Amino acid sequence: MPENGTFDELGLPPALQAAIADLGFTTPSAIQAQAIPALLGGRDIVGVAQTGTGKTAAFGLPLLAAIDYDIPAVQAIVLTPTRELAMQVADAIQSFATHLPGLNVLAVYGGSPFLPQQRALARGAQVVVGTPGRVLDHLERRTLKLDQVRFLVLDEADEMLRMGFAEDVDKVLSAAPRERQVALFSATMPPQIRRVAEQHLNRPVEITVSRQASTVTSVRQTYAVVPHRHKTGALARVLAVSEADAAIVFVRTRGAAEEVGSALIERGISAAYISGDVAQTEREKIVDRLRTGALDVLVATDVAARGLDVDRIGLVVNFDVPREPEIYVHRIGRTGRAGREGEALSFVTPAEQSRLRQIERTTRQSLLQVDIPSPAEVSAHRVQALLARTGARAELDRLDLYREAIAVHMAQNPDVDPFELLAVLTALSVGDEGPVAVQGDDLDDALSRAHLTGGGRERDGERSYDRPERGERRRADTHIAGGSPRWRVAVGHRDGLQPGALVGALTGEGGLTGKDVGKIDIFGSFALVDIPDGLSADVIDRLARTRVAGRPLRIRLDSGPRPGHGASRPTHGPARGRS
């Protein structure tokens, strides 16, 4: 963004310029280019800017420049509407202060114990970021004094007023010394905010910027419906087939970061996890490893990922859908950087669909539904990656030892087909058990069920034939309760099974008539079919060897749901009439 100049031109002290360089910020955003010089020049400002525009650095950097680090007293106050934002802003300011030893930033917010905050204040925090109510509490208890305050920020002012903090904000501003600077940021400018500005700000410079459209548009936004307990398995598959150089996985809590991160590491993925309580130096080390390629996947909480700017990140996975659309915008801004393409994939549980719509309204873009890759796709991807490396390896040569070993093996096993041997060697190199993963069935069945109960958001027309009407589902339940024999075949959606193909096999190879075949329910890796009059041993034998969609049917009487699996609850099926 050459029109915004460079950071060198903004007049920031060297320690802050060094921090910006550490964070990887190269050019100022529009709000930074305008707000930083004005604030450094001592002016008040009103910034009409949303999250994602870089407004935190726009006020955070001049705020730090205004502080005297030798004085152990509160000199700057930032008010934010929520506890989450308070933590994020405090974290961001701390990240700008890495070259300012002795500078302490403290977040104070409601809902957490008073005493630790009181002690930290007594130790001499110079910057306090907090929610208006808790800041006022500290003021009233005299655990926070404003006499040395020279810089005040109202972040997301419209949001604070909407949440009923008008009076608290007013009291804090009135309690601060008159010789002070105020920066007010708001996404919108209703008359109420104008009044606050008129009353408390001194001839403010007004700066309006629109959200950087590029943050959102260079990122392909997708979602997949994944039941909660299958998210880790689904994530491992997504990462296995992703073309992105590096990925960041967002989780909501510290516990989840550890759990998901550890699970990925256990699966041999080059991953690490961080949360807000990881020390700054440790965090920097991890981010450096991500930047240099020593690490490919970072699992992080929102607070920990604040300010993270690594060009290699081509994929953002929202393991949990963020509660607020603004957080979503922040998260997906981690990818699609430096003019690159990025993808953001959000896992939603079937119950979370309404959050998606909220996000779509905020970003004004619709999210495209995608499927979690099947075990077959994961294996195929691994094979392709392996084959792609063969050319370079062949060039290197030094293959004599292997040629000889194969010659000996072939001589000893003259019946072995070389192609078959190649396939086995490829499978061994890929290192999986083939397309059927250990827990494949569970995950795939759950995914196809979630997909189909996902609230009518499938891609156009796809799989529409098997969408159940409510009535149909009820009918099916009654049907099972009635105890009519259901048969299970080992072919499902994943293999591209269509109901017609199954009926064809049952009537063609099995010698049944159309009337013998009842309702069909197709799941991820298997299907259930009603055959009320049963099958003779002879027919079972013939059908066992029959292939449909390229796979053996392996028909057998269905033994009902597996524990905790609910397989007999059909989620879809064309409800073939038994006419």
- Residues near ligand AMP, by CB under 6 A: 25, 28-29, 32, 51-57, 306-307, 309, 333
Residue with tokens 């991500």: 290
Least spacing, CB of residue 409 vs ligand AMP, in Å: 56
Task: Give 208 or 366: the residue with its C-beta nearer to ligand AMP.
Answer: 208
DSSP structural state of residue 8: G
Cβ proximity to ligand AMP: between 108 and 248 the closer is 248
Closest to ligand AMP by CB, 209 vs 236, is: 209
For 353, the token pair is: 């669909």
Q: How far is the CB of 493 from ligand AMP (least distance, A)?
A: 40
Q: Say which DSSP state 82 is in.
A: S
Beta partners for residue 107, in sequence order:
129
Are 344 and 314 in contact by the 8 Å Cβ rule? The answer is no
Minimum distance, C-beta of residue 36 to ligand AMP, in the bound complex (Å):
10
CB of 62 or CB of 307, closer to ligand AMP: 307
Q: Judged by CB, which is closer to ligand AMP: 34, or 571?
A: 34
Q: In angstroms, give the least distance from the CB of 74 to ligand AMP.
A: 22
**Which is nearer to ligand AMP, 256 or 310 (by Cβ)?**
310
* Closer to ligand AMP by Cβ: residue 25 or 487: 25
* Token representation of residue 323: 């509660």
Nearer to ligand AMP, 96 or 526 (CB): 96
Q: In terms of C-beta density within 10 A (0-12 exposed, 13-18 middle, 19 or more buried), how is residue 485 classed? A: middle
Q: Look up residue 194 and give its two tokens.
A: 């104008």
Nearer of residues 307 and 510 to ligand AMP, judged by Cβ: 307
Is residue 249 within 8 Å of residue 277, measured between CB atoms?
A: no
Summary count for the chain: helices (H), strands (E): 24, 20
CB of 217 to ligand AMP, least distance (A): 16
Contact 30, 4 (CB under 8 A): yes
Distance CA 114, CA 141 (A): 11
Q: Tokens 């189909």 belong to which residue?
A: 452
Minimum distance from residue 452 beta carbon to ligand AMP (Å)? 37
| Shortest distance in whole angstroms from residue 38 CB to ligand AMP | 17
Residue 132 or 333: which CB sits closer to ligand AMP?
333
**Smallest distance from the beta carbon of 334 to ligand AMP, in angstroms?**
8
Burial 328-362 (b: 16+ CB within 10 A, else e): bbbbbbbbbbeeeebbbbbbbbbebbebbeebbeb
304 versus 529: smaller Cβ distance to ligand AMP: 304
Q: Tell me whether strands 527-530 and 486-489 are parallel, antiparallel or unpaired.
A: antiparallel
The DSSP line for 330-367 is HHHTTSS-TT--EEEEEEE-GGGHHHHHHHHHHHTSPP
CA distance linking residue 330 with residue 54, whole number of Å: 10
Q: How far is the CB of 98 from ligand AMP (least distance, A)?
A: 13
Cβ nearer to ligand AMP, comparing 53 with 221 = 53
- Are the CB atoms for 246 and 393 separated by under 8 Å? no
Least spacing, CB of residue 498 vs ligand AMP, in Å: 47
Least separation in angstroms between CB 17 and ligand AMP: 12
Compute the least distance from the CB of residue 37 to ligand AMP, in Å.
14
Nearer to ligand AMP, 22 or 170 (CB): 22
Least distance between ligand AMP and beta carbon 307 (Å) = 4
| Least spacing, CB of residue 276 vs ligand AMP, in Å | 14
Distance separating alpha carbons of residues 165 and 378, to the nearest angstrom: 51
* Environment class of 73 (CB within 10 Å of its CB; exposed 0-12, middle 13-18, buried 19+): middle
**476: alpha, beta or left? (left if phi > 0; alpha if psi -120 to 50):** alpha
* Helix, strand, coil share of the chain (percent; to 5): 45, 15, 40
- Other C-beta atoms closer than 10 Å to the C-beta of 281 total 9
Taking the alpha carbons at both ends of the chain, their separation in whole angstroms is 69
CA distance 3 to 30: 9
Of residues 51 and 363, the one with the C-beta less far from ligand AMP: 51
Residue 140's region, left for phi above 0, alpha for psi from -120 to 50, else beta, is alpha
For residues 381 and 192, give the distance between their C-alpha atoms in angstroms, rounded to a whole number. 56
